[in-house]
Homo-oligomer: A and B are copies of this chain.
Amino acid sequence: MLTAKLIDNIWATRKCESLNGLKFMLAEVIGGIEAGRRLIVVDTISAGIGDRVIVCTGSSARRMLDDDKIPVDAVVVGIIDEDCNFE
């Protein structure tokens, strides 16, 4: 999984029907040589802008959603505790 910070919301009125109702956010990888890499993630655990989160990618990301038929490849699976400091 990736360590990322949620930096903004993404709005897309025209989209694949199965994505209706999902919340899309822009995340930026933090730490390591991939810091600054950006990806769009789906959030289902009420994370907010500024939160540091754990992002799961690929086919595993769909496991977070009820429907395995959804075209989603990155999902917020956890919010890192505020008092969790890592190197």
Q: Spell out A's residues near B (CB within 8 Å).
A: 1-3, 7-16, 18-19, 24, 26, 28, 31-41, 45, 54, 56-64, 69-75, 77-81, 84, 86-87
Contact = CB atoms under 8 A, between A and B. Distances in A.
Total identical chains: 5
A63 B54 contact: no
A59 B12 CA distance: 22
Contact of A78 (B12, B33, B38): B12
Nearest to A56: B71
Given A38-B32, A84-B10, A87-B26, A16 B78 contact: yes
A63 B57 contact: no
Nearest to A74: B1
